[in-house]
A and B are shown apart, each in its own frame.
Chain A
Amino acid sequence: MKTKRILIVEDQADIRKLIRMTLDFGDYELHEADNGDSGYNLALTVAPHIILLDVMMPGSMDGLQVCEKLKKNPDYARTKIIMLTARGQQSDIDTGLKVGANSYMIKPFSPLELMDTIDKYFAEIEATGALV
């Protein structure tokens, strides 16, 4: 069976734990990072199929910059990126989509909706034969 890899990039430990507990319902290989810089580097190392990316993070790269950098890299242009934002501001959402995010979820997010989105993306990835 092919491994479905998900990377969680989120600075709040409680939210990371919550996402991990939610994703434990599925059969995924999970990786975690607590800031943009390490998240970006980990993405290059583990080549996840899906990245859950917090927008606001301390450090020299926030979620939007990580997303933009990855999407500019042809090897990661097809990686599905779900932005997690604490603010429902339209400007954040617009910027997220502009830099290539596939979708966004506003915190407090619904774990059920998250699972559904991830299932939908893995179905798409499998359909294109990109699950390696």
Chain B
Amino acid sequence: MNAQMKIFFDSLSDGVAIVNKEGIVQYVNTPGVVVFSAKIGVAFPDPRILKGVRDLIAGFGKAPLNIPLPMQAGNPVGCMAKLMPLPIADQYAVVTQLLTEKQFYEMTLKNFYEFIRIDLSKPIHQFAQQLGLLADEKLPSEVQRLVESGNTISERLQRIEMLAELFGTSPLVDQERLLFESMITEALNAERRQLESRGLEVYLEGLDAELPPVYGSRTWLTRALRELINNAARHATQKSRLEISLRCTGTHVILSLRNHGQFASKHLLKKKLFVPFNLVEDYIKDRKFSTSKVPGMAAKGPGLGLPICHQILHLHGGRMSIIEGDGDEIIEFNLELATGAPVQDTQTLDAEQAQRYAHDMVALMQRMQAAKAAQAADKK
């Protein structure tokens, strides 16, 4: 191996080793020496890897093989090895991932969420309440500016809290079987106060039991629906209609949400979908738009906004778009999700299923042999 390639492999945090078909180590990078205790010119020290190489040569199993390596005594590091053939004849690569690194980041994130949810939640809400008490007060201009800054901070802290609540309690991608009927009902109930305060009438169309299910995270997708409804309600003209319709194209369910309202610009709204949620207000201000100047529009709420709705759908293989409504005062959102479960990886049979199959096949064969023997005995 040339010097540059050696530097490259040594700079990786994962252990990498190359072995030949006899399992003799041809190369090992610096992290690999620590993780595997492997030495060049000597057989790879773990018998599981040697067996894996023999299995691949014999055509058992499909590469890459995932081989969990045991923890060494007194060492809390666990690791998963991937074994795969290299394009160079009779050479195999062993790559490991240290589980502790993943665990470290998971723990750090968990601690962060818990800090926000437990330690920050109460002061965030107290702060918002205190600012609310000052809303109708006649205040000196410098105090007014301070209150406005406080409102901005409070709103963003509430968004962070909502995100922490979502991230900390629910996996982003899941495979729950979801029916639109229950998700829409849940989202409408959650946004009931907003809808009532705006005096909006909600019309539902196409919400029947024949709609195919979608698979994903109930928490996250319901949240996306909530954000969409919340946004539509806030931007709708008071006492107008909010129309939600569903239709199935065979492969997708499309939810259309139409609100009658006034918004600065459809063009801007389309762009807003792709702006990270915490930048939206700045984005609007930069372009001299202010939602508060739109007549009949509700004040800004602490929702997570359309960008996160867009991201949630994207993670679930769906998409969100805005289409031109009838006239300038109708905005129509289309939310599209694939029907049915995500396509499974069919390349490799689950190891536990394969083991169970092998075990049961023996029993089935024995049962057949016993049946044949009984038949033969009956004939005699």
Q: Are A64 and B361 in contact (CB-based, < 8 A)? A: no
Interface size, B (range): 20 to 34
Q: A18-B357, A59-B339 are in contact. Are A25 and B368 (CB under 8 A)?
A: yes
Q: Does B248 contact A (CB under 8 A)?
A: yes
Q: Does B132 contact A (CB under 8 A)?
A: no
Stretch of B48-56, B118-126, B344-352 that contacts chain A: B344-352
Partner of A60, one of B175, B340, B348, B368: B340
Q: Are B212 and A108 in contact (CB-based, < 8 A)? A: no
Per the bound structure, the CA–CA distance linking A14 and B61 in Å amounts to: 13
Number of chain A residues close to chain B: CB under 8 A? 30
Q: A60-B212, A64-B177 are in contact. Are A12 and B346 (CB under 8 A)?
A: yes
Q: Does A125 contact B (CB under 8 A)?
A: no
A28 / chain B contacts, CB cutoff of 8 Å? none
Q: Are A61 and B212 in contact (CB-based, < 8 A)? A: yes
Q: A22-B364, A95-B177 are in contact. Are A56 and B341 (CB under 8 A)?
A: yes
Give 1 or 0 for each of B206-221: 1 = CB within 8 Å of chain A CB: 0000001101000000
B71 / chain A contacts, CB cutoff of 8 Å? none
A14 / chain B contacts, CB cutoff of 8 Å? 346, 348-349
Tell me the minimal C-beta distance from A23 to chain B in angstroms.
11
Q: Are A108 and B356 in contact (CB-based, < 8 A)? A: yes
Partner of A62, one of B212, B251, B364: B212
Q: Are B364 and A25 in contact (CB-based, < 8 A)? A: yes
Partner of B346, one of A13, A61, A107, A110: A13
Q: Are B346 and A57 in contact (CB-based, < 8 A)? A: no
Partner of A110, one of B175, B177, B213, B356: B356
- A interface residues (Cβ-Cβ under 8 A, vs B): 11-15, 18, 22, 25, 35-36, 55-62, 64-65, 87, 92, 95, 107-112, 115
9 residue pairs A–B, Cβ–Cβ below 8 Å: A18-B349, A22-B360, A22-B364, A55-B177, A60-B251, A60-B339, A62-B177, A62-B212, A62-B341
